[in-house]
Amino acid sequence: MSATAYEKLEQRFRRILILGDAGEALNWDYATMMPVGGGPARGEQLAELSAVRHALLTDTETADLLEEAAQDDSLNDWQSANVKAMRRKWAHATALSEDLVLAFSKACTACETVWRGARAENDFAAVLPHLEALLMLVRESARAKSEKLGLSPYDALLDEFEPGERSADIDIRFAELEAFLPGFLGTVLEKQQSDPAPPFPQGPFAAESQRQLGLKLMTALGFDFNHGRLDVSLHPFCGGTPDDVRITTRFDEDDFSSAMMGVLHETGHALYERGLPARWRYQPVGQALGMAVHESQSLLIEMQMSRSRGFLEFVAPLMREAFKGSGPAWDVEALYRNLIKVEPGLIRVDADEVTYPLHVILRYRLEKQMIAGDLALSDLPAAWNDGLENLLGIRPGSDREGCLQDIHWYDGAWGYFPTYTLGAMTAAQLYASALEDEPRISTGIPQGNFTPLTDWLVDNVHALGSLLSAATMVEKATGRPLNADAFTRHLKARYLG
């Protein structure tokens, strides 16, 4: 009996996604282990993998199979959703030529390699020509996808990271947050200044002690070390595959909380990857549901749960043990107040949850201007500094603290940044519903029992893969469409309560 069109598509996409997993392994090695001199060869390897995947996606037979499968009334809900997800990947791929895919992949690797040194040396000029070459290819890709998908160039890039999301909707949501956050920030800062400052744990905190604490927290949350590992990289990330999840962090021996929260954040990503439906591994419907949902899972763990008093009751003894801490600075209340301290800062990944959305709004606006050609890359450092000063009242003293701090643009991820704040809103809404649905979550966290929470997330988010749209998943899990209400209520309760 010959295979149906749908069965042939499953076989084809299984191969495409396995090749993608191989690329993930090469990218992890590039970020953590590879010697600097291996960069050019690694760029060639990644580019060839991208070209092979692109060729499989854009083959004329793929289009014919998609048309035939779309008419197959025998498909169940998961299979129908799989075809829809396949078609979306096909549409994005067929907008681009193989030459453009190859050139873009090589430019990403070349630019990121130079960025690593430029960031360390605070030398934007060194990476500028590489970033200009990469942005030209980003714009070319955006134009091609715009024509294919019937979207604006920016929305065509955004759609790759967050299917169905549009900048017009983001503009409205971000305008609402920008109207709320500066005034709220001022109120929070006034409240903090009126309260006695909590004592702060004094370092140094050995990197290995921080690593051991991170491993304990990962284990407590259910991270499976038979299917993943923790390493160090210049910029923390979660990569790999659902069966081999690779997370990284970086250590500051003056402040252990940065690495600890980074580990918790990336563990949230990792749990999502591990919780995706195994039945649909290597199929588009079995993949994560866009980056806003992915970020919601990391921010739910890092911000919503791990900065709560309940979590500090569990982790405070582990902190004291790891760093031989004693005295008032290591009491639960002091640790809690330090972890929720609000202070405008220069670095996004270290920002508190009140100021964090303003960091994202800045990057979102700048990348839209650069893609549209309204902001020259040579003017990016000054525009960044002016924008941050307008939003947060502080100004970077160096490009390392400014436009060189994030990897995303230098690695070709344009249209990604708004998903961070969409993720924060989604995290708050999901966590509020989880606490309401399952009372054992609140009682379990102080005891180090996170199973009620992770089970709820698996049932309502992880195990659904890409069966539903993000909007439908959120409304189904929480009973209402995504909005900022749960996020702003959470901020008010935590910082003014």
Question: Comparing C-alpha atoms, which of 410, 418, 360 is closest to residue 388?
Answer: 360
**Residue 2 confidence (pLDDT):** 73
* pLDDT tens readout for residues 87-102: 999 999 999 999 999 9
Distances (CA, A) of 171 to 160, 165, 178: 18, 11, 10
The answer to whether 400 and 381 are in contact (CB under 8 A) is: no
Distances (CA, A) of 379 to 208, 369, 374, 384: 41, 11, 10, 9
DSSP secondary structure code for residue 238 in this structure: E
**Residue 1 confidence (pLDDT):** 61
Amino acid identity at 52: V
Domains of the chain: 5-150 (no CATH), 169-496 (1.10.1370.30)
Question: Comparing C-alpha atoms, which of 416, 418, 413, 415 is closest to residue 107?
Answer: 413
Bond from prior residue into 182 cis (ω within 30 degrees of 0): no
The mean pLDDT of the chain is 95
Of the residues 10, 266, 273, 401, which is catalytic?
266
Long-range CB pairs of 38-42 (<8 Å, 24+ gap) are 39/109, 39/110, 39/113, 40/110, 42/109
Give the pLDDT band of residue 235 (cuts 50, 70, 90): confident
Average pLDDT over residues 386-394: 95
**Residue 36 confidence (pLDDT):** 86
Give the pLDDT band of residue 350 (cuts 50, 70, 90): confident
Tokens of 270: 């990792």
The answer to whether 247 and 270 are in contact (CB under 8 A) is: yes
Q: Label the pairing between strands 244-249 and 228-232.
A: parallel
**Residue 372 confidence (pLDDT):** 96
23-32, 356-365, 367-376, 402-411: segment of lowest average pLDDT = 23-32
- Any alpha helices (H) in 330-417, and if so which ranges? 332-339, 356-372, 380-392
Quick one: CA dihedral 129, 131, 134, 140, positive or negative? negative
The residues facing 246 across adjacent strands are: 229, 239
Average pLDDT over residues 413-437: 96
Tokens of 32: 């953590």
CA distance 462 to 376: 40
**Residue 89 confidence (pLDDT):** 95
Tokens of 261: 């929260």
Residue 266 a catalytic site member? yes
Q: 488 or 1, which is more confident?
A: 488
Give the pLDDT band of residue 349 (cuts 50, 70, 90): confident
Average pLDDT over residues 470-478: 97
**Residue 63 confidence (pLDDT):** 94
Which pTM does this prediction carry? 0.92
Instruction: Summarize the chain as % helix, strand, coil (round to 5).
Output: 70, 5, 25
Average pLDDT over residues 35-58: 92
**Residue 31 confidence (pLDDT):** 87
By the 10 Å C-beta count (0-12 exposed, 13-18 middle, 19+ buried), 74 is classed as exposed
Average pLDDT over residues 434-449: 97
Question: Comparing C-alpha atoms, which of 366, 399, 492, 453 is closest to residue 120?
Answer: 399
